Amino acid sequence: MPRLVRSSQLRTVAAVALLAVVIWRLGAGPVLDGLRALDLPAVVAALGIGAATTLCGAARWALVARRLGMELRLGAAVAHCYRALFLNSMLPAGILGDVGRAVEHGRAVGDVGRGARAVMLEKVAGQVALVMVGTVVLVAEPDVLGALSLPSQVWVPALGLLVAGGVVGLRVARVRGVLRTLLADARRGLLARDAWPGVALLSLAALAGYLGLFLVAARTVGATAPLEQLLPLLVLALFVMGLPVSVGGFGPREAVAAVAFGAVGLGAAQGLSAAVAYGVLAVVSTLPGGLVLLAGVLRRPSGRLATA
C-alpha cells in the first residue's frame, strides 16, 4: 500500500505537469470550450454508453471468473464494476476500484489471488483488443503515425516510465511462480476455445462504446471531420490513457489529442477540447457507480460479493 500511495502521488504530479505544459502552450481557452460545449444530450449519451460498456466489462469478468472456477452472477458483476469505475475516476491511484472488486470477490470465493487474477486477465483482454484495433487503424493513417515521432521529449520519458514500472513490478513479485500461475489462468480464462470468442466479442463491443463516447465528445465541441479521419485520433488518445502518468486518463490523453488533431490539420485546440470533454463525459458515465456505493453504505451489507 505505501508503494501504491507513492506511485499515485508521482503519477498525479506527472499528469498535472503534463496538463500544465499543454495548457501553457495552447492556453486555457480550449479547456473552457470543452467544458462549455457539454450539454444534456451529451450527458444522456454518456450515461447510455457507459451502461453498455459497463455491462460488457461485467460480462467479460463473469466469463473469465467462471472459467477459473469461480461463480459470479452478472447482476452482481455489473454493480461492482460500476462501483469500481466510479472509485477509479474519483481516487488518485486510478485502480483502487478494481483492486476492491478483485479482493472482495476473492474473499467471497475463498481465493483472493485467483480473484485478483480474474480481474487482471479481463482488464488485459480489453487492452489487447485496443492494441489490435489501434494497430490496424493507425497503420492506415500515416499522418497520425508521423505525429507519434514528433514530441519525442514526451514519448521517450513515458515509455521509460512504462519499462521502469514493469521492472519494479517484476522485482516485487516472485516472478517465476506468479507468471506460471498467471499464464495457466490465461490459458483457461482467456485462450480456451469456449472462452476467447466471448471475451473477444465483449472486448470489441466495449471498445466500440469507448470510441463512441469519444466521438460524441468530439462532435459536441464542434469537430465536423468525417469518421474515418477522426477514428485514428480517438484510438490513439484512448491508447495513451493506459500510460502510468495519468489520473483518470487526464494528462497524456489531452497532450496526444492536441498533437494528433494538429498533425492532420484539425487544430490542436480542438483536440484538447475534445479530450477534455471526453474526460468529463467518462466521469459522468460512472456516476451510477456512486449510487451503488451509496446504497451499499446505507444497507450496511456484510461486504461479501454475491456469487451465486
Question: pLDDT value at position 256?
Answer: 86
Question: pLDDT value at position 255?
Answer: 87
Identify the domain containing residue 51 by its residue range: 29-294
Write out the chain's pLDDT in tens, 308 residues: 455 555 556 666 777 777 888 888 889 999 999 999 999 999 999 999 999 999 999 999 999 999 999 999 999 999 999 999 999 888 766 788 899 999 999 999 999 999 999 999 999 999 899 888 888 877 776 666 665 554 444 444 544 444 444 444 444 444 556 677 888 888 888 888 889 999 999 999 999 999 999 999 999 999 999 988 898 888 888 888 766 666 767 888 888 899 889 888 899 999 999 999 999 999 999 999 999 999 888 876 554 565 54
* Residue 104 placed within a domain: yes
What grid cell was written down for 213?
463516447
* Residue 122 placed within a domain: yes
* Residue 23 placed within a domain: no
* Residue 242 placed within a domain: yes
Question: pLDDT value at position 133?
Answer: 87
Question: pLDDT value at position 170?
Answer: 43
Q: How many domains does the chain have?
A: 1
* Residue 8 placed within a domain: no
Question: pLDDT value at position 38?
Answer: 95
* Residue 103 placed within a domain: yes
Question: pLDDT value at position 274?
Answer: 96
Question: pLDDT value at position 9?
Answer: 61
* Residue 1 placed within a domain: no
What grid cell was written down for 104?
472482495
276: how many CB neighbours lie within 10 A of its CB? 25
